[in-house]
Amino acid sequence: MLKFIKYSFFDLVRSYWTIIYFLFYAIVSSAILYFSADMTKSIVSIMNIVIVLIPLVSIIFGTIYYYNSREFTELLLAQPVKRSSLILGQYGGLALSLSLSFIAGLSIPFLAAGILGSEHFLDFLLILLTGTCLSFSMSAIAYMTALRHENKILGFGISLFIWFFLAVIYDGLILLLLVLFREYPTDSLAIIMTLLNPIDLSRVTIMLGLDISALMGYTGAVFLKFFGTIKGIPISILSMLIWIALPAFLMVRIANKKDF
């Protein structure tokens, strides 16, 4: 599996799109830092980009990468190679390359701006951790979807719908449910629904670290009230790790049953 991770990683690091992904974060973060003198505002602005762009890029790039390498995957599976090692190796290389591009593109401008000596250094590390978890989680969902559907157009469409549902529609559903059940205690419902969405979970985690109650929204405020900042952040990170492990497990299970 480590050999497959190494091959996929170095293959993707040299990719044209991976370099563009790195340059995008480097340019955008540099521009935000240049036009904003407040480090907190810069981090919040980066957060808004991270929680939308990383899931979109990860799920699209992951789906495309699987379909483009499907023939090579079938060729390797004709050899005495475990399916789980191959699929996890390809997925690991994909997620690592995306995470490295994100971390490098974001870190270079912030390090140049003196984030190491800033009081917001831990908040910045939290954004890097959250973005990395999102990259691994959404890449696993992309691979799981692509493995499930042979048709490229169908698989790509489902992947885009998953991102659109989690990033846009899901918040509207939460708001609708909270309005419909406004006469009942809805704190537990808000927390559960937040934990069931990795994008919302990432947003709340960063907000808990920044401790900006005005930008948290209802779900973030309930999360803070219920767990508190000290307990809330570890619980959020643990939930994001589950969002990595569960899709990866389902991905391997689908691959083991799939007729390549």
**One digit per residue, pLDDT tens: the chain, 260 residues?**
788 888 888 888 888 888 899 999 999 999 988 887 777 788 888 888 888 899 999 999 999 999 988 888 888 888 888 888 889 999 999 999 999 999 999 999 988 888 887 787 888 888 999 999 999 999 999 999 998 888 889 999 999 999 999 988 988 888 788 778 777 777 777 778 888 889 888 887 877 777 654 455 555 566 666 655 566 778 888 889 999 999 999 999 998 887 76
pTM over cut 0.85: yes
Q: Are 207 and 216 in contact (CB under 8 A)?
A: yes
Q: Are 70 and 150 in contact (CB under 8 A)?
A: no
Distances 235 to 143, 206, 207 between C-alpha atoms, Å:
26, 13, 14
In the numeric block, the tokens 């570890």 are attached to 234
The C-alpha torsion from 240 through 245 and 248 to 253, rounded to 10°, is: -140
pLDDT reported for residue 220: 57
Residue 160, Cβ neighbours under 10 Å: how many? 15
Alpha carbon distance 137, 209 (integer Å): 21
Helix (H) or strand (E) holding 243: helix 217-257
Q: Are 166 and 198 in contact (CB under 8 A)?
A: yes
Q: How far apart are the first and last CA of the chain?
A: 19
Structure tokens at 199: 């994008």
Alpha carbon distance 181, 246 (integer Å): 30
